[in-house]
Structure formats: structure tokens, C-alpha cells
Amino acid sequence: MPDDNQNNPKSHSINDLTDIVKKSLDYKSSGIFKFLLSLSIIITLFAVVGVYLTTSKGLKLWGINNSIPWALDITNFVFWIGISHAGSLISAILFLFRQHWRAGIHRIAEAMTIFALFTAIIYPVFHTGRPWLTIFWVLPFPIQSGVWVNFKSPLMWDVFAILIYLISSLIFLYIGLIPDLAILSQKVKSVFLRKVYNFFSAFWLGSSKQWNNYRATYLVIAGLITPLVLSVHSIVSFDFAVSLVPGWHTTIMPPYFVAGAIFSGCASLIVLLAICRLLFKLEDIISVDVMEKVNKLMLVSGLMLAYSYLTEFFFVFYGANSFENQSLIYRMTGDYRFVFWIMLLLNIIIPQLLWFRKIRRNISLSLLVSILVLIGMWLERYSIIVPNLAKDYLSSNQNIYFPTFTEISILIGSFGLFMTLFLIFFRYFPIFSIYDLSKFNIIKKKYE
């Protein structure tokens, strides 16, 4: 039988893997880690300032208006939701297809999902203008004003779909952590970490029956998350598709959004893997071969997204709806044309560099491509939302949008919040699955 796991040049026993994780948890953080954490916290303060100003002064500090009520906030929301969907999807699909190279990266992907969701939630909450009342507006509580939740609204579908996805992703991540926490609870020096690990893995005995139940449960959740991811981002796309706004009212939106989510998620995963290689010295586990495989996934999803672009253009220009034609032409030649053409450059042309093996296997170049793709995907969401609202049916209702300092502060700070959560989590929890990697090495030795 051929060896499917020949990508990793070095094998580790379970004791070796435990020691690697234990060392990262016991010893003081490196200078690079402290610098990145401090920088991310400082960047997060931009979001704190923006949120404070929004809460104290109101939405008048944003650049939105009656014509363009959705702008940078929903752009950022869809961007982070797309990144979150790809993490658990990549992990679940690779598990279902028995791709053992996922062992070193799936926890990073799953954590990416959780923290991107937490970051995304900021925007719709503060877009309400009164975030302290949000829970009453999104849940069916009886209130004195007699206002009830409109369950026919796709915005309400978002609430329940994203909440279910967040809970499922947390369960998926936690179940994968249980065996590792049980091992590390007896190994780490920190008394506090021992108590935390014992709390979350106190019921774990490691018996044969538990292992069988563990594998069956993990398989079921992976099987449930895969269609859930596809449905959730399709629901997010329905926010646009069920409206009558030119450029939004199209059936291509669900697959278009799903392809874009996987594309941006792969790019984000490449960035995080490169950071983890640098911080935690995991070159043997997050190998160049593993990075190359993720780059291949990004290339394939990028081709899917390019096909979606072409399909959208074909439907618009082949169709007889003059408003759709005008909307797309405005995106291409109007006030926001630079956003449109830079988006096409970064999302279609730049990813084609990944056809070359030397670029796929070069960490620095693949990192650069991934960062450019993330910029392009953010511009794509902006290009979908703002120009289509700016070019309305009535010329009297057309307007121009410019982001304000408050909106830009929240945007910049959201990246700092995401990285802060990510760095803190992997400073105190194992960055890879000891169980999965030890199983991987057993399989490797069996067929060597």
C-alpha cells in the first residue's frame, strides 16, 4: 500500500509530540511572540475607540446614509464570516476524506473559525445603533412596544444559522482537544493550566469504549459541519439575493459566496500557518508539503470564484434587465471602478502564480499571495455592497459613500482582535493534535 503521509520528513512519537507542546506551554514566551501580541493588542485599541465613539455619539459618525445604509460594517461582517466558514469546512472535509496531513493544521483552522466568528459579530450588533438592546431585537422576547422579530427576514436567518454554526464549531474544536488536555493535565508545570485542563477533560479515562465513542462522535460532527457550512454562507448570501437591489437579485449569489469563503479561508490559513511556523518552530509539523497542499486548495477555490465572476457577467449582459446592466457597468466604470479592477487583479490574476510549484513551496511568496488575496476578497465584498446601493433605480436616490475615521478604526481593530484571540489561545492550548499526529506517525512507520 502506498504511503499517503510521506510529506512529513520527520516522525514523532506521542512522547515527543507531548514534549513539544509542553515546552511551548511551560516556558516564557519568545520575544517575537511578545512583540506580535503587544502589536495586536495595540491594533485592537483602534476598534475599542471606534466602538466607544459609535456607542456614545451614534451612527452619525459613520458614513452611511439613507441611500447606502450598508457599507463598511456589512462588508467587514461578510468578510469575517467567509473566513470563519472555511476553517471548519477545511478541517471537516479533510477528515472525511482521510487526509492525514490535516493533523498538523486542523486545530489552527478550527480556531480560525471561532475567532473570525467572534470578530464578525461586532458589526451587526453595533450597526443596530443600540447594541445594548440587540438581544431583544434578535430573540423572540415579548416586549411592551409590541415589536416582534420578523422571522421572514433573511437577517433573522443569519442570526440562527451563525449561532448554530458557532456552537457546532466550538463542539468540534473542544472534542478534538479532550485527549490532548487529558495528557497535558499531568505534564505541564503551571498549576493554573493543570486545573483548566483537568476541568475540561476530567471525564476522560482513555478506555477502549471511550475511544470508540470519541471517534464515532467526531465523525458525526464532521459530517454535520460540512453541509452546515455550505448552508450558512448560502443564507448570508440570501441577505442580498432576496432583495430587489440591482446587482444583488441573482441566483448566482449562494455558490458565489461559498466559493469566495473557501478562497479567503485558505488564504487566511496560509497566513496563520506561516505565523505558527515562525513563533512555535513547527517546521517539521507544518511542513512545506502541507503548505503546498493548502496553496493547491486556494488555487482550486480561486478558479471556482473566477468562474462565478464570469457567470455573473454572462447573466447580466445576456439578460434583458437594463438596471442590472447599468449596475455592473457602474461598478466597472463609475466612482468605485478602481475597487472593481483591483479586485479582479488580486482575485483572478495573482492566484494564477500558484500554478508554479516553486511559488507554492516558497513560504514567503505564498504568504505574499495570500495577503494580496485577502485584500482582494475584502474589496470584492465592498464592490458588491456599496456600488450596487449607490446606483439605485431612482437617480434622485443615488449617493456616494466615503468611510469615516470611526469605521476605519473598527476595521483596523478587528484584525488586531482576531490576532490577539488567536495568539492567546495557542499560548495556553496545544497548537496541534497530539493524538492525530501520533496516529499519523504510527501509520507512517507501518508502511515505511
| 200 domain-assigned | yes
Highest mean pLDDT among 243-257, 269-283, 341-355: 341-355
Binned at pLDDT 50, 70 and 90, residue 41 comes out as very high
User: If DSSP states are collapsed to H, E and C, what string results for 424-439?
Assistant: HHHHHCCCCCHHHHHH
pLDDT of residue 141: 59
Cell of 255: 455558490
> Higher pLDDT residue, 303 or 392?
303
Domain that holds residue 306: 14-447
9 belongs to a structural domain: no
3 state SS for 131-147: HHHHHHHHCCCCCCCCC
Of 251, 229, 230, the closest CA to residue 241 belongs to 251
pLDDT at residue 9, as a whole number: 38
Residue 94: which of 81, 80, 105 has the closest Cα?
Answer: 105
Residue 7 in any domain: the answer is no
Residue 205 has pLDDT above 90, yes or no: no
Residue 299's pLDDT band, with cuts at 50, 70 and 90, is very high
Determine the pLDDT at residue 13: 53
Task: Examine residue 55 and state whether it is found in any structural domain, yes or no.
Answer: yes
The answer to whether position 28 is within a domain reads: yes
In the chain, pLDDT over 90 holds for what percent of residues? 29
Cell of 269: 490559513
Rounded to an integer, the average pLDDT of 430-442 is 70
Q: Encode 330-354: b = buried (16+ Cβ within 10 Å), e = exposed.
A: bbeeeebeebbebbbebbbebbebb
121 found inside a domain? yes
| Helices 288-318, 322-333: crossing angle, 10 deg rounding | 130
Rg (C-alpha) for the chain, rounded Å, is 23
Q: What is the pTM of this model?
A: 0.86
Question: Of the spans 176-190, 217-231, 352-366, which averages the highest pLDDT?
Answer: 352-366
Look at residue 271 in the predicted model and tell me its pLDDT: 93
How many residues are listed for the chain in this entry?
448
Q: What is the largest CA-CA distance in the chain?
A: 72
Q: What's 351-396 look like in SS3? A: HHHHHCHHHHCCHHHHHHHHHHHHHHHHHHHHHHHHHHHHCCCCHH
pLDDT reported for residue 306: 92
User: What backbone phi and psi angles, to 5 degrees, belong to 12?
Assistant: -130, 140
Q: For residue 52, what is the domain's CATH number? A: 1.20.1630.10
Please name the residues in contact with 26: beta carbons below 8 A apart, sequence gap of 6 or more: 188, 189, 190
Q: What is the pLDDT of residues 383-404, one digit of tens each?
A: 988 888 887 777 767 778 888 9
Please determine, for residue 447, whether its predicted confidence score (pLDDT) is greater than 60.
no
What is the predicted pLDDT for the residue at 4?
Answer: 40
**Calpha distance 85→420 (Å, rounded):** 20
pLDDT level of residue 34 (50, 70, 90 thresholds): confident
Residue 278 has pLDDT above 90, yes or no: no
- For residue 445, is pLDDT > 50? no
The answer to whether position 185 is within a domain reads yes
Q: What is the dihedral of CA 177, 297, 76, 329, to 10 degrees?
A: -170
Quick one: cell of 204? 476522560
Mean pLDDT calculated for residue range 264-269? 92
Question: Within its chain, how far is the Cα of 15 from the centroid?
Answer: 32
Q: Does residue 297 contact residue 273 with C-beta atoms inside 8 Å?
A: no
The pLDDT score that the predictor gives to residue 180 is: 85
Higher-confidence residue of 363 and 283: namely 363
Residue 256 lies in a domain: yes
Q: Is the pLDDT of residue 253 over 90?
A: no
**Domain count across the chain:** 1
Alpha carbons 32 and 347: distance in angstroms, whole number: 31
Candidate from 126-135, 174-183, 322-331 with smallest mean pLDDT: 126-135
Nearest residue to 327 (alpha-carbon basis) of 406, 439, 248: 248
- Burial, 144: exposed, middle or buried (Cβ in 10 Å; 0-12, 13-18, 19+)? exposed
The pLDDT confidence band at residue 361, using thresholds 50, 70 and 90, is very high
Query: What's the burial of 93, exposed, middle or buried (CB within 10 Å: 0-12/13-18/19+)?
Result: middle
